């Protein structure tokens, strides 16, 4: 239900690494089922494809920057890195650096091969060039983030760790929407889902109409448990659905045990109607008691959950109010909540399974979080014979990264 293209993985690769480490990573991500975009080796920084690639970065959820020895020679990579940092700061995109046979310090401080490359950039564009200043700043910012040192050892192991990280990060949902399909799927809930997705929230909405009496699937339970926020759309006939009530049971349990957020939306119903099970809610619960027994523990728990969720702070839609205004209000609140918790946290955790003394340890430490938007991998390799673009042969292979 998304209105525009979004990638799980964006790969920007040049030189030999394009056909080696980068190509193997691209293939592994595709095989894992991630929607992956990789620029062609022939694409140049000044080509008509450049705006397309920058848009792809904007539409991504994670940016992975692979720093190699000749990375700073390629101005197209540096331009994209500036865009990546911009998206990190304005869209809360995750950014993860990989230091491919280079030291994080040399990238951060522009030493060794990075110093040689920027000496050329200073000469070409001027020492006071705003463009070069932004490139230096972007390098320093990303090199300070927690990342993976891929200096030696089997490259396939590095690829596996990156794929594992991506799987772990993108499998988490931001928001789970609990609703009764016949009431609001193709109207209010559909618009809400679209609006949240447009703002890059990974939102779960069940696409299947469950038969009444069916237990909720393990995938639904996992989606609820992995979400940071559950939105419960309490419509007139919500309580008719035993599957909705079963989902609500898991939602309330996660609120109590995992401190997850729960926002009720009273869609053309009064909170007191839900809290005290009146009107259609009374009729629905009476039908459940007839089916499962008046002393049913299950029904008793459902009643308790309805009362508790109705006591939470949420949103209300009156019969003669515009739905789009409520949708906008909910999305605004979700953005405020997300920014308040995660605006300064933009790194990924790849520490699991690594030894502290290992050569492939994390390059630096910072808080970790699952966040929004796909993968951009910026990496380059030796390009001794450049074509007519801004990317230049900055140094010889004897330079040490």
Q: What pLDDT, on the 0 to 100 scale, is given for residue 36?
A: 76
Q: What pLDDT, on the 0 to 100 scale, is given for residue 1?
A: 37
Tell whether the model's pLDDT for residue 370 goes beyond 80. Answer: no
Cα-Cα-Cα-Cα dihedral sign, residues 83, 87, 88, 90: positive
Structural domain for 108, as ranges: 9-170+343-379
Specify the DSSP class assigned to residue 290: H
Q: What pLDDT, on the 0 to 100 scale, is given for residue 280?
A: 98
**Which one is predicted more confidently, 82 or 309?**
309
Same-domain status, 180 and 65: no
pLDDT level of residue 168 (50, 70, 90 thresholds): confident
Same-domain status, 209 and 304: yes
| Count of domains observed in the chain | 2
Query: Mean pLDDT throughout 299-305?
Result: 97
Q: From 85, 141, 155, select the one nearest 110 (Cα to Cα).
A: 141
Residues above pLDDT 90, as percent of the chain: 44
Q: What pLDDT, on the 0 to 100 scale, is given for residue 324?
A: 96
| Assigned domain for 302 exists | yes
Same-domain status, 182 and 161: no
| Assigned domain for 389 exists | no
- Element (H or E) spanning 248, and its range? helix 242-257
Mean pLDDT of the chain: 80
| Assigned domain for 59 exists | yes
Backbone phi, psi, residue 347, to 5°: -125, 170
pLDDT level of residue 380 (50, 70, 90 thresholds): very low
Which CATH number do you get for residue 106?
3.40.50.10140
Rounded to whole angstroms, the Cα distance separating 186 from 191 reads 8
Q: What pLDDT, on the 0 to 100 scale, is given for residue 345?
A: 33
Q: What pLDDT, on the 0 to 100 scale, is given for residue 43?
A: 53
Same-domain status, 291 and 373: no
Q: What pLDDT, on the 0 to 100 scale, is given for residue 374?
A: 39
| Assigned domain for 233 exists | yes
pLDDT level of residue 40 (50, 70, 90 thresholds): low
Rounded to whole angstroms, the Cα distance separating 333 from 369 reads 20
Tell whether the model's pLDDT for residue 277 goes beyond 70. Answer: yes
Same-domain status, 185 and 259: yes
Tell whether the model's pLDDT for residue 264 goes beyond 50. Answer: yes
Instruction: Please tell me which of 247-251, 337-341, 345-349 the model is most confident about, judged by mean pLDDT.
Output: 247-251
Q: Which two tokens stand for residue 51?
A: 């705006």
**Which one is predicted more confidently, 372 or 19?**
19
Rounded to whole angstroms, the Cα distance separating 314 from 213 reads 28
> What is the side-by-side strand order in the sheet with 203-204?
203-204, 175-178, 229-234, 261-267, 315-317
Rounded to whole angstroms, the Cα distance separating 107 from 206 reads 45
Tell whether the model's pLDDT for residue 108 goes beyond 90. Answer: yes
- Element (H or E) spanning 266, and its range? strand 261-267
Rounded to whole angstroms, the Cα distance separating 374 from 63 reads 7
Q: What pLDDT, on the 0 to 100 scale, is given for residue 355?
A: 33
Helices (H) and strands (E) counted in the chain, each on its own, are: 16, 11
Rounded to whole angstroms, the Cα distance separating 67 from 77 reads 10
3-state secondary structure of 259: coil
Tell whether the model's pLDDT for residue 142 goes beyond 50. Answer: yes
The pLDDT tens digits of the residues spanning 110-132 come to 999 999 999 999 999 998 999 99
| Assigned domain for 4 exists | no
Of 38-42, 151-155, 313-317, the one with minimum mean pLDDT is: 38-42
| Assigned domain for 399 exists | no
Rounded to whole angstroms, the Cα distance separating 131 from 79 reads 9
The Cα-based distances of 263 to 176, 177, 210, 331 in angstroms read: 10, 10, 23, 12
Q: What pLDDT, on the 0 to 100 scale, is given for residue 15?
A: 62
Q: Which two tokens stand for residue 400?
A: 């040490």
Rounded to whole angstroms, the Cα distance separating 264 from 245 reads 13
Q: What pLDDT, on the 0 to 100 scale, is given for residue 336?
A: 87
Backbone phi, psi, residue 145, to 5°: -75, 160
Rounded to whole angstroms, the Cα distance separating 119 from 395 reads 11
Residues above pLDDT 70, as percent of the chain: 77
Same-domain status, 348 and 240: no
| Assigned domain for 40 exists | yes
Query: Mean pLDDT throughout 269-281?
Result: 98
Rounded to whole angstroms, the Cα distance separating 236 from 24 reads 52
The pLDDT tens digits of the residues spanning 281-294 come to 999 999 999 999 98
Half-sphere exposure (Cβ direction) of 42: Cα atoms closer than 13 Å: 1
Same-domain status, 179 and 118: no
Same-domain status, 99 and 18: yes
Tell whether the model's pLDDT for residue 3 goes beyond 60. Answer: no
Same-domain status, 200 and 69: no
Same-domain status, 163 and 191: no
Q: What pLDDT, on the 0 to 100 scale, is given for residue 5?
A: 57
Same-domain status, 17 and 158: yes
For 218-245, b/e burial (b = at least 16 CB within 10 A) is eebbebbbbbbbbbbbbbbbbbbbbbbb
Rounded to whole angstroms, the Cα distance separating 105 from 140 reads 9
Same-domain status, 216 and 160: no
**Does the model's pTM come out above 0.75?**
no
Rounded to whole angstroms, the Cα distance separating 175 from 164 reads 22
- Element (H or E) spanning 138, and its range? helix 130-143
**Which one is predicted more confidently, 122 or 42?**
122
| Assigned domain for 394 exists | no
Query: Mean pLDDT throughout 373-396?
Result: 42
Q: What pLDDT, on the 0 to 100 scale, is given for residue 344?
A: 30
pLDDT level of residue 184 (50, 70, 90 thresholds): very high
């Amino acid at each position: 239900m998304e209105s525009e293209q979004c990638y799980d993985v964006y790969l920007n690769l040049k030189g030999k690494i394009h056909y080696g480490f980068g190509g193997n990573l691209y293939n592994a991500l595709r095989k894992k089922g991630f929607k992956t975009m990789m620029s062609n080796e022939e694409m140049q920084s000044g080509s008509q494809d450049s705006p397309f690639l920058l848009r792809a970065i904007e539409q991504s959820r994670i940016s992975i920057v692979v720093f190699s020895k000749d990375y700073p020679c390629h101005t197209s990579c540096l331009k994209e890195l500036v865009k990546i940092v911009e998206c990190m700061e304005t869209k809360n995109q995750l950014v993860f650096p990989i230091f491919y046979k280079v030291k994080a310090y040399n990238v951060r401080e522009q030493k060794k091969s990075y110093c040689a490359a920027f000496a050329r950039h200073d000469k070409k564009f001027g020492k006071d060039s705003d463009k070069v200043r932004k490139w230096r700043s972007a390098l320093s910012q990303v090199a300070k983030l927690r990342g993976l040192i891929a200096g030696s050892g089997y490259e396939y192991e590095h690829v596996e760790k990156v794929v594992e990280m991506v799987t772990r990060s993108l499998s988490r949902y931001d928001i789970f929407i609990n609703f009764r399909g016949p009431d609001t799927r193709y109207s209010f809930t559909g618009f809400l889902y679209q609006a949240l997705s447009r703002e890059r929230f990974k939102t779960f909405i069940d696409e299947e109409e469950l038969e009444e009496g069916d237990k909720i699937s393990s995938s639904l339970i996992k989606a609820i448990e992995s979400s940071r926020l559950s939105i419960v759309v309490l419509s007139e006939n919500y309580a008719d659905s035993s599957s909705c009530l079963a989902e609500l049971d898991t939602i309330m349990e996660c609120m109590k045990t995992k401190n997850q957020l729960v926002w009720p939306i009273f869609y053309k119903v009064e909170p007191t109607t839900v809290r005290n099970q009146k009107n259609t809610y009374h009729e629905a619960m009476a039908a459940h008691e007839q089916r499962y027994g008046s002393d049913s523990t299950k029904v008793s728990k459902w009643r308790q959950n309805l009362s508790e969720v109705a006591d939470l702070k949420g949103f209300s839609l009156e019969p003669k109010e515009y739905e789009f205004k409520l949708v906008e209000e909910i999305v605004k609140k979700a953005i405020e909540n997300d920014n308040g918790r995660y605006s300064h946290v933009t790194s990924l955790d790849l520490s699991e399974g690594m030894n502290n003394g290992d050569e492939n340890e994390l390059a630096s430490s910072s808080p970790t979080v699952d966040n929004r938007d796909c993968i951009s991998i910026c990496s380059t390799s030796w390009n001794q014979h450049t074509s007519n673009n801004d990317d230049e042969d900055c140094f010889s292979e004897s330079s040490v990264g």
